[in-house]
Amino acid sequence: MSEAALVITEDDPVLDTAFVTEMVRQMRAIDSYGTYDEWSVSKILDPFILTRERKREIPVIGDPDDVTVARLKVFYNALAATIEKECGLMAVPMLNLSHEGFGRVIISVGKLIVMDRTLRDVHRFGFVSLAKMKEDADKILSNALEMVNQYKDAANL
């Protein structure tokens, strides 16, 4: 992917948020060969953004490849890490995915399930924009933290 093809600009204010920082940390964690060491933050996060043009290039029916599944795991790992930072309790993501791209992801804090999402068409996983990714993550985070506060006994188990 060339620099000209990037859809995230270097001066995007969303790049300075805690969740995006955690996303970059998670992406660098899965990079065992150091490929991302020289990449900018916008280049690392660019594959998460599926513009209409990019989405048109992906077939409607298809199986997710390993790279797409890794991005999916990074997103939910970043959510769990952010939940853990906010509430001080360990949050664990659990992903069950078929080879066809259907499944479920949950994030638990103690014995409490704070997020449960059914996954479909994982081969087309992505967001319209970086702001939309942050907005979706913020919704999940606020709901999860609200549940942890409401059911502290279950979250502390």
**In this predicted model, what pLDDT tens digit does every residue of 95-149 receive, in sequence order?**
999 999 999 999 999 999 999 999 999 999 999 999 999 999 999 999 999 999 9
Q: Is the backbone of residue 150 left (phi > 0), alpha (psi -120 to 50) or beta?
A: alpha
CATH assignment of the domain containing 127: 1.10.3100.20
Per the domain annotation, does 29 fall within a domain? yes
Would you state the pLDDT for residue 92? Answer: 97
Q: Return the pLDDT at 1.
A: 42
* Strand arrangement of the beta sheet that strand 91-97 belongs to: 91-97, 103-109, 112-119
In angstroms, what CA-CA distances link 59 with 29, 118, 124? 29, 21, 8
Neighbours of 87 (CB within 10 A): 19
Tell me, yes or no, whether 107 lies in a domain.
yes
- Asked if residue 1 is part of any domain, the answer here is no
Question: Helix-strand-coil percent breakdown of the chain, rounded to 5?
Answer: 55, 15, 30
- Place 6 in a pLDDT band, splitting at 50, 70 and 90: confident
Say how many Å lie between the first and final Cα of the chain, rounded: 45
User: What is the C-alpha separation between 46 and 38, in angstroms, rounded?
Assistant: 15
For the segment 83-95, what is each residue's pLDDT rounded down to a tens digit? 999 999 999 999 9
User: Could you list the residue range(s) of the whole structural domain that residue 104 is in?
Assistant: 9-155
Spatial contact of 20 and 134, defined as CB atoms under 8 Å apart = yes
- Given this model, what pLDDT does residue 7 score? 86
What pLDDT shows up at residue 137? 97
**In this predicted model, what pLDDT tens digit does every residue of 14-55 receive, in sequence order?**
999 999 999 999 999 999 999 999 999 999 999 999 988 888
* 4, part of any domain: no
Q: How many domains are there within the chain?
A: 1
Residue 42 half-sphere exposure, CB side, CA atoms within 13 Å? 15
Sign, CA dihedral 139-141-147-149, equals negative
**What's the pLDDT tens digit per position in 58-84?**
888 888 999 999 999 999 999 999 999
pLDDT confidence band for 3 (50 / 70 / 90): very low
